[in-house]
């Protein structure tokens, strides 16, 4: 229970702080001039959203904490989902307020809308080399080989599902198919994190026209840091699967078996938390030269962002773009390839389940 509550807290803090982590050219999913980001009205909106989201999260944490142990495994996912839905509804309220404020302020009429493009942007080193992902791939292959070598030492029953307390809830008879679950997951995760690295490198360039040079530096830093995090966290997950697989065949102290997953999950959660606050969306929190009021703003693309969250632009050839409200990237839902990538991931997961069932 304590570990589950531990995971809830950083999610709550990230959601509450999200308006402070987004680009200065966007506020609650609405495009704005970066010159007005620090205005009193917008600061007040960010502060109120943060406190309301925190209050909502604290209520659900208290509900989950005071549930009995037997009920916790039902109450916890419900409260977590309820918090995510509730915080989204709070966001929608502020999204509408922001749209109304933008219309009332008539920024698009008072400022010149431009698009900044850096032709040298793609020549910069924005991600770690794809070759680094050979390391988790090699770990997966080694796990395959060791699984066959130690096959006789695996127990007759193999755990297939755990609850929040780490207790096995579903068992399967030992077979090569069931024992190949973790190695196949390792290959899937390696491919998935490599794909994320490709997305980071290829996603659409988005620069602030008030200071394109500083904005390009921030964006390149943002991409490289998240690429490095993607490689490290992906490799640690693949190592965790290898450790879990071999722990069933090789006797290990229970303290180590229980501690390793905790260490890996803590690293991944804390790493994402620290990276979000130190880098921000698009590198917005990376130190750069001070901006001056320019009287410019990015081309207004609000009509392509449904609810300020979902990008749908049939005229844009880009498949992946940076999120407006959140950290990371999202799909251009008007591009067939975007749906194709999402469908491919789901199909692979379903095939894995069918293979080991």
Specify the pairing of strand 26-27 against strand 296-298: unpaired
The β-bridge relationship of strands 310-311 and 320-322 is unpaired
Q: 3-state class of 199 per DSSP? A: helix
End-to-end CA distance of the chain: give it in Å, rounded. Answer: 29
Query: Tokens 């690429």 — which residue?
Result: 227
Q: Give the residue-averaged pLDDT of 207-228.
A: 87
Considering only residues 291 and 29, tell me which one the structure prediction assigns the higher pLDDT: 29
- pTM of the model as a whole: 0.84
Please give the mean pLDDT across all residues of the chain: 86
Q: How far is CA 63 from CA 4, 82, 87, 110, in A?
A: 13, 11, 16, 48
Instruction: Please report which helix (H) or strand (E) contains residue 321, including its range.
Output: strand 320-322
pLDDT at residue 290 above 70?
no
Please give the share of the chain, as a percent, with pLDDT higher than 70: 91
More confident residue, 267 or 158: 267
Q: Please say if the pLDDT value at position 164 is more than 70.
A: no
Lowest-pLDDT choice from 114-123, 247-256, 278-287:
114-123
Asked if residue 53 has pLDDT above 60, the reply is yes
**Runs of H (alpha helix) within the chain:** 2-21, 40-65, 69-105, 107-110, 134-149, 176-179, 181-202, 212-247, 254-279, 336-356
In total, the chain counts a number of residues equal to 357
By mean pLDDT, which of 69-73, 245-249, 258-262, 269-273 is the weakest?
A: 69-73
The pLDDT of residue 163 is above 70: no
User: Up-side HSE of residue 37: CA atoms within 13 Å toward CB?
Assistant: 23
The rounded distance, in Å, linking the Cα atoms of 247 and 110 is 65
Do residues 114 and 299 lie in contact, with contact meaning Cβ atoms separated by under 8 Å?
Answer: yes
The residue behind tokens 């109450």 is 75
Angle at which helices 254-279 and 212-247 cross, to 10°: 170
Count Cβ neighbours within 10 Å for each residue of 168-186 and write b for 16 or more, e otherwise.
Answer: eeeebebeeebbbbbbbbb
**In this predicted structure, what is the pLDDT of residue 166?**
61
């Amino acid at each position: 229970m304590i570990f589950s509550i531990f995971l809830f807290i950083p999610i709550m803090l990230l959601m509450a702080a999200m308006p402070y982590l987004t680009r200065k050219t966007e506020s609650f999913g609405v495009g704005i001039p970066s010159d007005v980001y620090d205005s009193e009205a917008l600061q007040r909106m960010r502060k109120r959203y943060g406190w309301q989201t925190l209050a909502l999260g604290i209520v659900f944490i208290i509900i989950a904490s005071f549930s009995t142990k037997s009920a916790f495994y039902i109450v916890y996912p419900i409260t977590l989902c309820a918090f995510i839905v509730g915080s989204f509804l709070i966001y929608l309220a502020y999204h509408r307020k922001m749209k109304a404020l933008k219309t009332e302020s008539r920024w698009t009429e008072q400022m010149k809308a431009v698009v900044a493009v850096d032709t040298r942007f793609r020549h910069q080193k924005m991600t770690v080399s794809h070759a680094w992902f050979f390391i988790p791939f090699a770990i997966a292959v080694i796990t395959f080989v060791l699984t066959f070598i130690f096959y006789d030492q695996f127990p007759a029953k193999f755990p297939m599902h755990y609850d929040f307390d780490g207790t096995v809830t579903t068992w399967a008879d030992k077979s090569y198919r069931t024992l190949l679950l973790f190695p196949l997951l390792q290959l899937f995760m390696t491919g998935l994190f490599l794909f994320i690295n490709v997305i980071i490198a290829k996603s659409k360039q988005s620069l602030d026209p008030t200071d394109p040079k500083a904005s390009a530096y921030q964006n390149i830093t943002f991409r490289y840091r998240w690429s490095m995090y993607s490689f490290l966290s992906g490799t640690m997950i693949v190592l965790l699967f290898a450790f879990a697989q071999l722990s069933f065949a090789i006797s290990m102290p229970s303290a180590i078996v229980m501690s390793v997953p905790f260490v890996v999950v803590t690293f991944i959660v804390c790493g994402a938390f620290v990276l979000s606050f130190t880098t921000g969306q698009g590198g917005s929190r990376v130190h750069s030269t001070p901006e001056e009021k320019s009287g410019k703003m990015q081309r207004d693309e609000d009509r392509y962002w449904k609810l300020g969250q979902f990008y749908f632009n049939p005229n844009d050839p880009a498949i992946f773009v940076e999120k407006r409200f959140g950290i990371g990237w999202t799909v251009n839902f008007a591009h067939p390839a975007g749906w194709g990538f999402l469908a491919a991931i789901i199909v692979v997961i379903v095939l894995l389940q069918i293979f080991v069932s």
